[in-house]
Structures are given as structure tokens and as C-alpha cells.
């Protein structure tokens, strides 16, 4: 097998691994729940993100007619009294809904299920947090995800070419930077505008972690591109490649946009999240 072919395969494996890790660790992906009640196994997902103007449905597949339950919710972060909604049986599912919130508004919720007198609490001690957002067009979502995925792959490939001492790393350095700009600095802000009403909430105007991750990655690759113009400096490309991999390892949307229900303003980042939590 040729060296370049092997490096392409390794780059694909690293990229797929990073994408899988993002999906498993991100705070907006649905939470997997698996419980057993009276020897009946229930397996379902609870939402942690919802887009558009509709209420967020919460459904649980049921295997018998005795199971019923309630969902308890309140705005986050607040100490408001918990509100309750009963699940309704529709076919082979229990269905309830969480009321829609303004963009970046959050709810925390937990569920209590009952089957033949036996009660099971789900996430009561550590309620699930769901964030609401505006409706982002698919025509924006798909290219954004695709370009960011390609940028990650090209970044890995460029770094591996440096390790393999293949001079074409310069070509992939430049290509990575271009694709990253399109996916992160053009399509990313457009997505955020549709979702939360702002194009940019990172440095220097905010603390949004996702925006700041993108900024750090772009600066790293800009240095690599400029540093390789007149003279080959492979170590800069390797550094940028490792930097992007580290950036991807940080869960997506962690400490992202959050609506402050007391002021009606959208805050971002760990600092604002910490200050808000002190109020309660």
C-alpha cells in the first residue's frame, strides 16, 4: 500500500472518531435513557435541543397499557415552581410536550413513570436541560456541517503528510484554511443568526465557546498558511492540525447562547453562565 493511501485512511479514521466523539459528548444531543420497570425494558431518547416555533414533543414507546407518567419542567436557570404535564397515550407511545421558548431559552425537566403502582424517577436529581432555538434552514445546516467535516479531514491529512514528509502538505494547508473559513466564518455565523438572532457572539464581543473555538482554529491555520508562503515550515501545519483536533475535542455548543429570563438578554459563555447561576 502506498504511503499516501495509508495516510488518507488514517485521516478518515481520525475524522470519523472525532465526529463520533462530538456527537456523544455534545450537550445538545438527545440523552439516551434505558430503564426497567416491572421486568419491562424501556429504551428512548430525551431531547436537549429543539428548533422552530413549535412545542418540543417528548415520547416514550410502551410495551403495555399500564404505564403512565408525568413530565415536570421549569425555566432554566430559575427557582420557579415545577409545572406538570401528564403523558397521553397515542398508540404504542406516551406523548407529552415542553412549551416552546424564545431563541436561547432553556427548560430543565424530569419524568416520573408509573407501572402497576411502581414509580420510577428519570433525571429528577439531575434534570435534563433543553435549549430552544430558531428554525435554521436545511440549506444552511447541511453545507455548514459538510464543510466543517471536510475541514477536519483535510486538517488531519495535512498533519499526517507533515509526519510522512510529503511536500503536498502545503496544498492541503491552504485548502484546509479555505474550507474552514467557508464552514466556520461564513456558514457558521449565518446558522447562529437563524438560531439565536446574532451572527457572532465570540471574542471580542462575547464569550461563546463555539465561536471562540472557531476563531482559535482559523487563527492557527492562518499562521500556518502565512508561514509556508516563502519557505516550507511544516511544524506550523502540524501545530495547526493538532490545534484543530483539540478544538474538535471540546463538546459542541458547550456554554453557548442562553436567554437570561430576568433581563430578556441572550448571554454566552462560561463566565456569564457562572454569574447567572449565582443568582439562584
8 Å CB contact between 132 and 100: yes
Q: How far apart are CA 71 and CA 96, in angstroms?
A: 7
Question: What's the pLDDT at 202?
Answer: 78
Tell me: do 51 and 170 sit in the same domain.
Answer: no
The string of pLDDT tens digits covering residues 35-57 is 888 777 888 999 999 999 999 99
When divided into structural domains, the chain yields a total of 2
Cα–Cα dist 128/248, whole Å: 24
CATH of the domain at 127: 2.60.40.10
pLDDT at 279 over 60: no
Dump strand ranges (E) for 104-227: 106-115, 118-122, 128-133
Q: Are residues 120 and 217 in the same domain?
A: no
More confident position, 111 or 261: 111
Q: How much is the pLDDT for 275? A: 39
Read off the pLDDT of residues 175-228 as tens digits, 9 standing for 90 and up. Answer: 999 999 999 999 999 998 998 888 887 777 777 778 888 899 999 999 999 999
Same domain for 15 and 152? yes
> Is 146 found in the same domain as 121?
no
Answer yes or no: are the C-beta atoms of 218 and 184 closer than 8 Å.
yes
Beta strands in the chain (DSSP E): 31-37, 40-46, 49-51, 56-61, 67-76, 83-86, 88-90, 93-98, 106-115, 118-122, 128-133, 258-260, 265-267
Backbone phi and psi for residue 62, each to the nearest 5 degrees, phi listed first: -120, 150
> Do residues 43 and 164 both lie within one domain?
no
- The pLDDT tens digits of the residues spanning 107-144 come to 999 999 998 888 899 999 999 999 999 999 999 999 99
pLDDT for the residue numbered 236:
96
pLDDT mean across residues, the chain: 87
Do residue 41 and residue 69 come from a single domain?
yes
What distance in Å separates the CA atoms of residue 141 and residue 49, rounded to the nearest whole number? 15
Domain boundary pick from 88, 109, 133: 133
| Sequence-distant (≥ 6) Cβ neighbours of residue 182 within 8 angstroms | 147
Single residue among 133, 160, 177 that ends a domain in this structure: 133
Question: Containing domain of residue 89, as a range?
Answer: 31-133
Asked if residue 173 and residue 63 are part of one domain, the reply reads no
Digit-coded pLDDT (tens) for 49-95: 999 999 999 998 887 767 889 999 999 988 999 999 999 998 888 99
Query: Torsion-angle region of residue 64: left (phi > 0), alpha (psi -120 to 50) or beta?
Result: beta
**b (16+ CB within 10 A) / e for 60-86:** bebeeeebebebbbebbbeeeeeeeee
Q: Is the same domain home to 162 and 230?
A: yes
**Alpha-carbon distance values, 45 to 40, 49, 95, 193, 256 (Å):** 17, 12, 13, 28, 22
131 close to 105: Cβ distance less than 8 angstroms? yes
Residues 157 and 116 in one domain: no
Kindly report the number of other CB atoms within 10 A of residue 249's CB atom: 12
pLDDT recorded at residue 100 = 96
Q: So what's the pLDDT on residue 50?
A: 93
Of 133, 168, 196, the domain-final residue: 133
- Say whether both 22 and 99 belong to one domain: no
Query: What pLDDT, on a 0 to 100 scale, did the predictor assign at position 96?
Result: 95
Give me the pLDDT at residue 38, please.
79
Cα–Cα distance list, 47 to 93, 112, 146, 177, 198 (Å): 16, 16, 23, 34, 24
Model pLDDT, residue 272:
43
The band of 98, judged by pLDDT with boundaries at 50, 70 and 90, is very high
Amino acid at each position: 500500500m502506498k504511503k499516501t493511501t495509508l495516510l488518507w485512511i488514517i485521516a478518515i479514521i481520525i475524522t470519523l472518531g472525532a465526529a463520533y466523539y462530538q456527537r456523544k459528548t455534545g450537550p445538545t444531543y438527545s440523552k439516551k435513557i434505558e430503564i426497567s420497570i416491572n421486568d419491562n425494558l424501556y429504551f428512548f431518547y430525551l431531547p436537549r435541543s429543539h428548533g422552530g416555533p413549535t412545542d418540543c414533543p417528548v415520547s416514550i414507546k410502551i410495551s403495555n397499557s399500564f404505564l403512565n407518567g408525568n413530565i415536570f419542567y421549569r425555566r432554566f436557570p430559575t427557582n420557579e415552581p415545577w409545572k406538570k404535564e401528564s403523558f397521553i397515550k397515542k398508540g404504542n407511545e406516551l406523548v407529552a410536550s415542553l412549551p416552546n421558548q424564545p431563541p436561547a431559552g432553556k427548560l430543565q425537566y424530569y419524568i416520573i413513570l408509573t407501572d402497576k403502582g411502581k414509580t420510577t424517577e428519570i433525571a429528577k436529581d439531575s434534570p435534563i436541560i433543553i435549549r430552544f432555538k430558531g428554525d435554521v434552514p436545511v440549506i444552511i445546516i447541511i453545507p455548514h456541517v459538510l464543510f466543517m467535516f471536510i475541514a477536519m479531514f483535510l486538517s488531519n491529512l495535512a498533519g499526517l503528510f507533515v509526519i510522512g514528509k510529503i511536500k503536498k502538505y502545503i496544498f492541503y494547508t491552504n485548502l484546509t484554511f479555505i474550507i474552514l473559513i467557508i464552514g466556520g466564518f461564513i456558514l457558521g455565523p449565518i446558522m447562529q443568526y437563524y438560531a439565536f438572532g446574532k451572527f457572532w457572539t465570540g471574542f471580542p464581543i462575547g464569550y461563546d465557546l463555539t465561536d471562540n473555538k472557531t476563531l482559535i482554529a482559523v487563527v492557527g491555520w492562518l499562521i500556518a498558511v502565512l508561514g509556508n508562503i516563502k519557505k516550507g515550515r511544516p511544524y506550523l501545519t502540524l501545530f495547526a492540525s493538532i490545534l484543530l483536533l483539540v478544538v474538535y475535542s471540546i463538546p459542541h455548543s458547550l456554554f453557548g447562547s442562553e436567554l437570561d429570563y430576568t433581563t430578556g438578554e441572550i448571554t454566552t459563555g462560561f463566565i456569564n453562565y457562572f454569574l447567572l447561576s449565582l443568582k439562584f
